[in-house]
Amino acid sequence: MDKRLAFVAGLLTVFVSVAAHAQNYKNFPGASVDQKTLRAQDRAEDMYEKGEYGRALLIYKKDLAPTGDKYAQYMVGYMHLAGKSVEPDRALALAWYRLAAERGEPSIVRARDALHKSVSVEELERSNTIFVDLWQKLGDNRLILDLIRADIEVLRARTGTRIPGASTGQLTIINVSGNGGSERFYSDVHERLDTRMQYLETNVEIIDIEQDDDVADIRTLEMEIRKELAALDTL
């Protein structure tokens, strides 16, 4: 059994346990999980199991949640709900649960809905504000847009890398393409970019946010990136 699944299955809460690995949600085309991330996941779980909740929370929140790790985002919410190294805060916990449930994983959705029903009106209002801020920084829309921009930068560099000229101050172009290996690399980038654009257009939804002002920054970023992509296609 997956270590993360076994760990979550052991949590005794009034809510349904999370039952899926964070990187396997609906084929989310995020960044690949590297060894550093895997080590952080193991370290966080080890710290939690040892009762070193403050250290575990720091890893979940600072190292894993920003990568789109929905398990880690759920754990941040759970630890705030249960008061693990922090004061219990149901409004903050609900905001993290909502972020973690963004891809529709059923067990996290059920946990979110159960907590949503139990909070007061005042807690819900504060949670809404917290959630919008989290979504703007760590939501899938933002993650996908940042990854798309990184792909665009890779493709821009395909024909050369600009470096300052020695005496004229102009820019010199150094060719970095021209072999089968690099062609395959750029083909993979194109495919990844197309997949991410498709995900953005068809699967990523703005959840539980109704005010235009709350999504304005993300929409502006999306428009800028679409312009960059259109300009790249004309080269």
Spans of all domains in the chain: 3-134, 140-233
Mean pLDDT, rounded, for 39-53: 97
pLDDT of amino acid 180: 53
| Tokens read off for 38 | 């895997």
- Would you say residue 29 has pLDDT above 80? yes
In angstroms, the CA 135 to CA 95 distance is 9
* Cα–Cα distances in angstroms (integers) from residue 217 to residues 29, 115, 132, in the given order: 22, 29, 11
- Cα radius of gyration (the chain): 21
| Tokens read off for 186 | 């750029």
pLDDT in tens, 146-179: 999 888 888 888 755 443 433 434 433 334 444 5
- How do strand 171-174 and strand 161-164 relate by DSSP bridges? antiparallel
Percent of the chain with pLDDT over 90: 44
Long-range contacts of 78-83 (CB under 8 A, 24+ apart): 78/11, 78/13, 79/53, 81/13, 81/115, 82/13
pLDDT of amino acid 1: 42
pLDDT in tens, 73-104: 999 999 999 999 999 999 999 999 999 999 88
- Would you say residue 11 has pLDDT above 60? no
